[in-house]
Amino acid sequence: MADENERAVQAAIAGELRLLDPEVRASPSLVSELLDPEFTEIGASGRRWDAESILTVTSAGTVSADAPVKVSELSGTVLAPGIVHLTYFADNQGRRVWRSSLWRLTDTGWRMYFHQGTLAA
């Protein structure tokens, strides 16, 4: 069971890091592969997003290849079979955000179901 949980957490972490990759973010089709059809996000701005609206933002190039997002304190926990919760700090050009994501296993693989960012000091 521990190995299965570790594989689930690692799969969610791999997906999360892919979503932070500027090349992936620039491709709506690649981002779509990682987002659950029912995806929602509450951004650090307080705005609520869905899968369609987040594609507009990610494809706009808000993360630069010259200044990638720095991730720290990344950890994950299996909440139930097929559900992983990740938390981490993301530093994007001096803007530090505490991030939390829920990933769920679907017929097409692990997909982000929910994400929230809270500005951190």
Residue 88, domain CATH: 3.10.450.50
pLDDT digits (tens, 9 = 90+) for 17-54: 999 998 898 899 999 999 999 999 998 888 999 988 88
Q: Structurally, how many domains does the chain consist of? A: 1
What is the CA angle 38-39-43, rounded to 5? Answer: 150
pLDDT at 61 over 60: no
DSSP class per residue in 47-67 = -EEEHHHHHHHHTTT-SBTTB
Cα gap 52→49, rounded to integer Å: 8
Q: Phi/psi of residue 21, each to 5°?
A: -75, 125
Look up the domain containing 66 and give its range.
2-119
